[in-house]
């Protein structure tokens, strides 16, 4: 262990606990009020640009994915009240949740059944648009439904898209790229579940399997792609496009809350909890939400104890300069969507003034929460997603945050949103195995 890391273990209590694989609730001391934000890497105009691009593609998406007919080609998920889950958490875990508890069901997002259907699909669409416009085959004012024609599939088939993944990103990139006509290669880390590899292969995607972790799969994928001028690499470690695809969720959620007549203001704070792997998805969603609600939304990331890379990166300020292996933990977790040992190079820096904190959770508890949600609300989400409830299980720390933020008097009117990030595509036999795990 290098001396620097030792220093952090000695001086940052959250890092010391993480090194012992204990659950941690880290409150971000660098969070700033909106008036002091100076974010330059991305801008609100970038979110608008991403939202407009998704709108341009809506006629195409509606044409090729029948499940998007009802939404007119917009990939969005339900926001559902889960009062019985709130009671369950309060009863079984002394969570002390006041106000409403809602579930944002990205677990059921169309096309690929996870939050990656936001960022992953967005990045593929953006790449396709750039290629087609550059070749003079498409204008922004065209009806993009033409992209479904064989001529375009032929055009895209000259190009390759590659990505490294623990599973869900590969599913989104793979399904979308293959639909457009691209050749696709997904580099899957050891954590990836068999059924995800099988499903991708059935859609004509080339899946390369690695005996190594996520960072290794990404590195190999990037190398392969860089060696081929016709290949594009979706770089989860650095991608601004992925981040912006996720950030579009902010305004969409605002519309849903308005439709449910749920106010968000200083007297009605919004608390949002999002499972975190490399950081792109929760970072993008957080950025989108903070842009809409400013100081009235409080965003938390949640991670498995074995793969708490974002907490380490942010608590030490080293960001991608530290990995879980550096503090002697293995990065191995059943929460495959979160099995990342080193955080994104740019997300932690962008969200530094925005994020409220990060809670970590033991793998075994994820299964208990999964069964709890299924029993109380009849909703199945995958174990990774259940990390969204982590902060409630360390209620003293959450309460401490509320106290520091001066919100005690208004918590009875608060809304909490647990962001369910994956689940609908999990096959029945795998669901049953999850349901029977650890009991
Ligand atoms: C990818 C993923 C996340 C987190 O996204 P990152 O961009 O890796 O932080 C959370 N939950 C599930 C189910 C995922 O697949």
CA atoms within 13 A on the CB side of 204: 13
Strands (E), 166-289: 183-188, 206-209, 231-234, 270-275
List, for residues 402-420, the tens digit of each pLDDT value. Answer: 999 999 999 999 999 999 9
| C-alpha 285 – ligand 1 centre gap (Å) | 11
Q: Which of 104, 53, 54, 105 is CA-nearest to residue 75?
A: 54
d(CA 359, CA 390): 6
pLDDT at res. 43? 96
pLDDT band at 2 (very low <50, low <70, confident <90, very high): low
User: In terms of C-beta distances under 8 Å and separation of at least 24 residues, what long-range contacts does 61-65 make, across chains too?
Assistant: 62/145, 63/145, 63/148, 64/148, 64/179, 65/110, 65/111, 65/179
Atom of ligand 1 nearest to the CA of 280: 7
Q: What is the DSSP letter of 339?
A: -
| C-alpha 337 – ligand 1 centre gap (Å) | 5
Strands (E), 10-159: 25-27, 79-81, 100-105
| Range 107-117 average pLDDT | 96
Q: Do domains 3-42+68-112+243-436 and 114-242 have the same CATH topology?
A: yes
d(CA 319, CA 315): 9
| C-alpha 71 – ligand 1 centre gap (Å) | 24
- So what's the architecture of 3-42+68-112+243-436 in CATH? 3-Layer(aba) Sandwich (3.40)
Cβ contact 126:241 at 8 Å: yes
d(CA 243, CA 280): 5
Does the pTM surpass 0.95? The reply is yes
| Range 261-284 average pLDDT | 98
Given the DSSP bridges, would you call strands 160-165 and 183-188 parallel, antiparallel or unpaired? parallel
Helix axes 116-134, 280-293, angle to 10 degrees: 90
pLDDT at 106 over 70: yes
| C-alpha 292 – ligand 1 centre gap (Å) | 22
Distances from the Cα of 60 to the Cα of 65, 69, 248, angstroms: 9, 11, 19
Q: Which residues line ligand 1 (CB under 6 A)?
A: 114-116, 168, 275-282, 337-338, 340, 382, 384-385, 421-422
pLDDT at res. 214? 83
209 in helix, strand or coil? strand
308 in helix, strand or coil? coil
pLDDT at 1 over 80: no
Say which CATH topology domain 114-242 has: Rossmann fold (3.40.50)
Domain ranges in the chain are 3-42+68-112+243-436, 114-242
CA atoms within 13 A on the CB side of 375: 11
Residue nearest to atom 15 of ligand 1 (CA): 337
* Span between the terminal Cα atoms of the chain, in Å: 37
List, for residues 351-373, the tens digit of each pLDDT value. Answer: 999 999 999 999 999 999 999 99
| C-alpha 336 – ligand 1 centre gap (Å) | 9
């Amino acid at each position: 262990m290098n001396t620097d890391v030792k220093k952090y273990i000695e001086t940052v209590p959250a890092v010391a606990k993480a090194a012992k694989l204990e659950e941690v609730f880290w409150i971000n001391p660098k969070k700033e009020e909106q008036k002091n934000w100076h974010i330059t890497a991305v801008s609100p105009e970038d979110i608008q640009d991403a939202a407009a691009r998704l709108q341009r593609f809506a006629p195409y998406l509606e044409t090729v994915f029948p499940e998007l007919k009802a939404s007119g080609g917009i990939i969005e998920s339900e926001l559902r009240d889960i009062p019985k889950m709130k009671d369950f958490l309060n009863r079984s875990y002394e969570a002390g949740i006041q106000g409403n508890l809602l579930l944002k069901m990205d677990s059921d997002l169309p096309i690929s059944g996870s939050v990656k259907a936001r960022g992953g699909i967005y990045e593929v669409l953006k790449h396709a648009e750039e290629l087609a416009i550059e070749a003079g085959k498409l204008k922004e004012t065209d009806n993009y439904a033409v992209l479904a024609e064989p001529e375009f599939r032929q055009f895209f088939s000259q190009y390759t898209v590659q990505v490294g993944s623990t599973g869900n990103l590969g599913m989104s990139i793979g399904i979308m790229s293959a639909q457009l006509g691209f050749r696709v290669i997904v580099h899957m880390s050891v954590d990836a579940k068999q059924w995800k590899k099988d499903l991708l292969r059935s859609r004509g995607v080339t899946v390369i399997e690695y005996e190594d972790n996520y960072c290794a799969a990404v590195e190999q994928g990037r190398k392969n792609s860089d060696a081929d001028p016709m290949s594009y690499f979706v770089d989860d470690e650095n991608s601004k496009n992925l981040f912006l695809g996720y950030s579009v969720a902010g305004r969409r959620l605002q519309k849903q809350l308005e439709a449910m007549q749920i106010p968000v203001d200083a007297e009605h704070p919004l608390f949002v909890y999002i499972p975190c792997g490399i950081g792109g998805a929760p970072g993008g969603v957080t950025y989108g939400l903070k842009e809409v609600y400013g100081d009235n939304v409080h965003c938390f990331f949640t991670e498995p104890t074995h793969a708490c890379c974002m907490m380490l990166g942010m608590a030490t300020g080293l960001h991608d300069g530290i990995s879980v292996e550096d503090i002697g933990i293995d990065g191995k977790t059943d929460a495959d969507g979160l099995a990342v040992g080193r955080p994104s190079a740019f997300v932690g820096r962008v969200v530094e003034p925005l994020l409220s904190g990060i809670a970590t959770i033991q793998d075994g508890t994820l299964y208990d929460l999964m069964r709890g949600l299924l029993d109380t609300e009849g909703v199945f989400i995958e174990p990774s997603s259940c990390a969204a409830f982590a902060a409630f299980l360390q209620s003293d720390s959450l309460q401490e945050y509320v106290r520091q933020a001066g919100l005690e008097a208004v918590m009875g009117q608060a809304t909490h949103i647990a962001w369910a990030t994956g689940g609908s595509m999990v096959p029945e036999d795998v669901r049953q195995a999850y349901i029977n795990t650890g009991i």
